[in-house]
Structure 1
Amino acid sequence: MFYRLSISYLSIFLVIIVTLMLLFSMMISDTMKKETAKLNYQYSQFIMQSIDNKLIAINQTIIDELLNSEELALFFNEGSYQDPILNAKISSYLNALAFQNPLIDGIYLVRYEDKRVMSNRIFVPLEEYGDQPFINEMITNDPPIKWTNSRVFKELNTLEEKVVVSLVRKFPLLTGEKGLIVINIDKNELQAIITRLNDENLTYIEVYDQKAFLFSGNLQGSNNKKEAITTIQSPHTGWTYKSGFYSFKGELYSTISSMNYLWFVLCAFIIIIGVLLILIKTKQNVKPVEQLMSRIRSEHEGVLDTHASEFYIIEKSFDQLVEISKKYRAQASEITELNKFRLFKDLLERDITFSSMEWETYAKLYGLPVHFGAGLVAIIEIDKFTELSVRYKKNELDLYKFVISNVLCEITHQEGFSILGHEWLEYKRLSVLFSFDSSVMQPEDVVEKISKLLQLWISKHTSITLTVSIGRKVTSIEQIIESNEEALKALQYKIVLGNSVILRYHSLQIKEHHELFEHLNQLRNAADLYRLGKHEWQSKLSAAFDAFKTELLSDEQVKSLLYYFIFYLNLEMSKSPKEIAGLWGDNTATKLTVILDEAYDLNQLFQEWEDMLCIIQEKLKEKYAQGPYYHLIQEVRIFVEENYNNPDISLSMLSVKFNINAKYLSQLFKEIFGETFSELIQKLRMKKAITLLINTDKPIQDIAIEVGYLSSISFSLAFKRCEGVSPSHYRNKQIKT
């Protein structure tokens, strides 16, 4: 192991050292190049500014002379053309200008009026002057603002040609209608300036005008390879300056080579020291590893291949340790989540008491606040969950529940509040325990706002809706169960209040005790009317549903009443003739019960029941209409309902009135209406009597006569048989309630 580790460490060490050396060399080289380029740029700027300053000075001198010189004004004056004294004076003036500026090689004036040229040497007609082509070009075209490109100048045919650059200015300066002044500078003079400033053994500089190469700072030239570094352009002349260094071998190269040699010697020394340190440290570090390997081999003898490499054995042992650790962590996480779930469930559903130390332990273990200021429980229920269970798979519903939980937490966090815990204690209900500071005065309003934002987000982004019930604010851990009970109670009124609403228990006008007798009467009346084939059953049933909402009956109370309605309606329909009972069927009551069990809203329930019962009623009407006495018996029924309070009404009376056998009439009553004539009379009279007992203060005797009895005794006996109590006792009981 020692040799393998040493080789691996040394190879890495050497690679790193070599890489650092290369990077350092590249960095030094790059830095030197940048500094060289910067220095060369400053050098080129200095050369360019030196030449520009001299040329600018000449230009400024000429402009000043054009504006202020009396000699120039006299020369271009029309009355002074033939004055020899003036001409001599002008020649001296031009020589003085050239003397003041040593760069100036020559100056001459061109007078348009007599086409003559005067220089500091001669005074001749224009056609005899050697620079006539250039003068004609300047007369034809406006003179350039800057200095001209290099050109060949020859003042007389007998003189030698020179390469010059020229500055041309008009006279007068603004209009230029009288002539020109031309200043020539020998190119060699400019080159001499650069040569004095340039080290031709190390650097070079070349100047180009707008057309071609102008001159160089190296008089003798060089055979060394040029490396251009800087290119700049003069804003005054428009000339381009290119400068750089020669690639050469000399003292500088020797110096740099010596420095590099010392650098590599130093690096080699450092590498040797590093190798020795690595070997020493490797020897020290490998000892505990060898001891560890000895233990692993002894512990896993016969399990692991002891002849395998040490790293392979360590890797396998480590993998086993990681797997065991993962299992333990997963189990610990599951146990923690399960215990947290149980704690949350106990807080909401069990009447338990925590000591301050116990709660502090739980709080630290599950990340809960140590000090409980205030809180309340809200329950979020997914609406129409039965339909959703059919439409979606379980994993899709679980995803919806996950989204609801996360969105709730995000909204609560954005509003600046916190959730102590939230769990799906029932598959369609999310129980949430909100936590507040004691300074929050109306936490119910806060939770209602959060609930509205949650409902809005879920309805916008999904196809489901939510109903939220909110319990009251509590100020201790032990009171949380009370807030949860109130939230659960509020949900018991969901079928009456509808879906996608927010229920606050203390905002609901809940009565602890409801008198359900009147609702039972309404439902019985609706069932009777339905069996008789009258359309009024719909309004009666609708009125019963409206009463459920008005009196705010709980889901349990509503369903109990409607289960009774199904039972009573099925019982009454079973009393009908066989062919009628056959149309009703054995499974109609079952279908009504299924609709009731799956109902999530009273309006939806009423609509589905109404649609189903109307279809069956139409079939019953068709069947009834096929009987020979159907219409006649309907007329008899109407007559009985209008005259039930007549003490003399009987089957004999109806037989005479409607010309039908009394015994057959009784049989028809039983077959069509499911009850005998006497049962119908008694039911109608009792219904009216109950209304009078409840809503009026009339004496029992008067009520008996009004509903068709000749004496109060017979009325009381009949009432007790039907209702189980006497009329007076029934009235007193209703008054108390």
Structure 2
Amino acid sequence: MSKKWFYRLLLSYIPVFFVVTAFLFFIFFQTLSEQNKKETIKANDFVAQQAIRYIDYSLKAIDEKVTLELLRNSDVARYFSSGGADDLKLDVAVMNAMRDLKVTYPLIDSMYVIRFRDDTVLSNIGSYALRDYPDEPFIARMRKAPNSVWSDSRAFKQFAYEEGVQVVSLTRGFPVFSQEKGMLVLNVRTDALHAIARQMYNPEVSFVRLYDRQGSDLMEAAAGDAFSPEEGKVYASYVSDYTGWRMDSGIRREGLIGLVLGLYNVWISLGILVVLGAIAWMIYVTRRNYKPIELIVSRLQLYLDYKARFIGGGANANEFKFIESALDNMIEQSNHWERQYYQDLGVRRNYFIHGLLEGTRRVDAEEWSREADGLMMPATFGMQTVFVVEIDKYTEFCKEYSHRDQNLFKFVISKMVEETAVSGTETVWTLWTASHQLTCVLRIDDGTKTSIEHIEMFEKIRSWMEVNLQLTVTIGIGGLTGRPEGLRDSFKEAQEALRFKTIYGGNGLLVHERLPSKGEANEQLQLIMNIAGDYRMSQGRWRSDLQTLFREMYRSVLSREDVVTLLRSLTFHLDRAVSAMGAHLQERWKKDAYPKLLGLLDSFETLEEIEDGYPAVLERFALQMDELREAKHPQFAIHEVKAYLEQHVMNPNLSLDFLSEKFGMNGKYLSKAFKEAYGVKFVDFMIDLRMQHAKRMLTETDRTVQEIAENVGYSSAISFIRTFKKMTGMSPGDYRKGN
């Protein structure tokens, strides 16, 4: 009896077990399918949002950059404001600006600007007349309203023979707020937008389509394939607030996913049938075994209720937003710590190098290796040299530019030096050791024995600054060293070389190994300063001194670079001398003589050429100075006053009052006219004139100091000695011994 009941129960519950299991399976599959469908819709919604946001972000970045460039790029402003005359340099500068934008934003396919004044189109390829440019219909359509949003898909080609490509275009007028001078057109290919969206989905499973405001499919234009609604169902659609374009995304009905979705209804029907069969069987079994089955059903119901509450409690969680938030937070913190590390590393490295340059820290090869490992520097010292880039006329630089612009210039200078100096096995470290001096440490591994071998690189740095920044610099170059402690000596040599800037002038290279001895440098400096001073005072000695300078060049067999260096120094001092004169003389000098002198220095091939041309330019300007002085003071020739002073230098009674009475002029007016004509005060001129006479008598005669003092207009030898020592730094006796 019991055995029979056992088999009966067993045979009764086995079918129930399979039915219930099948029921749970289909319920689970249905729930899973619905959940997967919801997650798929959510995923497609996310893809559409991210794709349209990323495209908007990319196009906005280009829009903002172009607008900013139009607002503050001086070359673009000058191009639109120019009168239409050919200016190749300005065209190239604007083309470079457009090319830089393309490099910064690879999404840009092409761009060009239209100048309304002469209907000229300038692209990154060349310049064209508007009537001949293939895109002229689009320009004419957008000319009255250039500041519009991105256009719909259109065909574009730069040359008539080209096959057009599909692009979307951004137009911006210039100036930005009035748009009467010109317009910029920027094109982005639709296949580039397709490439952006293509990265965000699997085309075998899902699809993304982008439509412009006219309903044209940008993806079809880019990929060359039309989309049929039968291929899939759209689950998400977003319209961009920025461009007005619509982004659709959905699931394809092809492949395994399509099969799964297609059989979904069949599985649901089968599940319903199984459930109905299970219910029927459960009723039958329940009737036969009511109480045991009731107990089982009640327990299963409790379990299902518990599971339903558990699943329902977690269904509201947004996993994707949580993952996105967590990843963003991790990346942000990682970037923050990385930036902080490299900032600290740069400070520590500059502090280490500064200590070596100043000599406050002594480091041998072994300690260099240990320190270099932590500062991301080469472990071996190799051969290194120090060169210092000094900004010329730094006072004028500070007056011309704001503090912010000065910092920007210095940043560009340091980055340019790093990019130019680093090539192959070379490494460079830069730091500003003074407000006007960038100190650079160059490491070389190619067996170089002297820093002169890299003179071409230094010249490239100097010329780049002059051409691109309109800023001149002088570079002092120290010697090579193979020891860390030798950097201090190389740094001192570079600074020592910069001291010769007074002699040779700015905007050049000063190599310590090439500098003359101190005595030779002093002789050249004295001769150059004498020429400049005599030229300013219209004293004829400048001609003989200039001939002496050329004779010294021949005698020393100087190279072309050395000749240019000396004559640049002379031109520099002549410019300073004329700058102290009246405005009428300065203007004539800057417009005529000074550019000609610089042109001669750039174009001559032999010393004979420059020996003929250089004095000729100075002779012409000397005549102009005399004419301008007489024209400025027609009531008397100011040079007659100077000539009288030169002839009567021994007269101790020479003074403004004496000359005023002599020439019948007011003393104050005479002093002002003299300063305006010769750039020096009357009293300073008198002292300098007497000291020059005294120097010649000390070196050319055997007269006593007392006699020389009387001959140059001093009644007291003590006053003469005191003045002479103040002007020359030594007593008359010491001067005679030294010469």
TM-score tier, shorter chain, comes to 0.3 to 0.5
TM-score (norm: length of structure 1): 0.38
Which is greater in Rg? 1
TM-score (norm: length of structure 2): 0.38
